[in-house]
Amino acid sequence: MLTISDKIMNKLINNLGEIIRWPKKPPEKEIIIKYLSTKFESDKKYTEKEINGIIDKYHLFNDIPLLRRELVSREFFAREDDGSVYWKIN
């Protein structure tokens, strides 16, 4: 039996692991950002360019800044005030 999270993932992520669209419902947004955060290593520092490259590989709706901001605002990532370095929060 599929969980609610599985149903949301199946609806919003294709079989290649790409996010199809940005959801409207807050719980769905949280699930999608949590999924995206799994594509990053925990003990690594990233430049904005590196973050953008990874995000670009895992979504189809062409809004890298939205997803980058969501990773930070939902506290899956932290960053330097100037945006020069990002890192995953465990």
pLDDT for the residue numbered 4: 77
pTM for the full predicted model: 0.93
Give 50's pLDDT tier (boundaries 50, 70, 90).
very high
Q: Are 19 and 58 in contact (CB under 8 A)?
A: yes
Q: Residue 49 has which token pair?
A: 């360019």
What backbone phi and psi angles, to 5 degrees, belong to 14? -80, 175
Q: pLDDT tens, 4-49?
A: 788 889 999 999 999 999 999 999 999 999 999 999 999 999 999 9
What is the SS3 string spanning 12-71?
HECCCCCECCCCCCHHHHHHHHHHHHCCCCCCCEECHHHHHHHHHHCECCCCHHHHHHHH
Beta strands 86-88 and 77-79 are antiparallel
